[in-house]
Amino acid sequence: MYKTKLKTSHLGATGLEITRVGFGAWAIGGGGWEFGWGPQQDEESIAAIHRAVDLGINWIDTAAAYGFGRSERVVGRALAGLSEPERPYVFTKAPREVAAESGVVFSMVTDDAALQAITSGPDGMLAGLAPGKVHIDMGTVSPQASTELAQRVRALGASVLDAPVSGSITAAEAGGPAGPASTGRPAVGGNAT
């Protein structure tokens, strides 16, 4: 890791020295999803990462959920051209690791695509669940996606509680985003099985 002129701090007991300011890569995940920051040009994002590194930052925050993997891919492209001593640390969040280390795992995403992104694949939440663990699904996903996820969780020997958050007081009072009869899911609560 290269030396920076910026002030650094110890990162817990890791032995890492990180700059007090890093590069947050949420926005470079782009638009087209509930919490997206709108359209982003990948080449401009790469240039911004290079500029941040030139100014001395030595870490980047990203996650698979930022644009459903787009942020991580753009960060990877930006760092591919940097030599090892120039390359900053990359901190990401892998749902698999969280699930493997936790007895109870909460998820709260806004649509079926986001649920698929955090649960599937080798780094998805399902890869870290094991018998005896509990998954609490608080997302506002479709009943079909919630039911399919619950079946997959149970097949791993874990338990699931369906407890969607409606997103608004009005929706909760109506029983969910479209009312209880149309969603088939309770606005609050559920059954742990």
Among residues 45, 66, 183, 185, which one is catalytic?
66
What values do phi and psi take at 71, rounded to 5?
-60, -45
156 vs 139: CA distance, rounded Å = 20
The alpha carbon of residue 8 and the mean position of all alpha carbons in its chain are separated, in whole angstroms, by 26
Q: Which residue has the tokens 């109506």?
A: 174
Please name the residues in contact with 179: beta carbons below 8 A apart, sequence gap of 6 or more: none
66 is an active site residue: yes
| DSSP codes of every residue in 55-75 | TT--EEE--TTTTTTHHHHHH
Active-site positions?
66
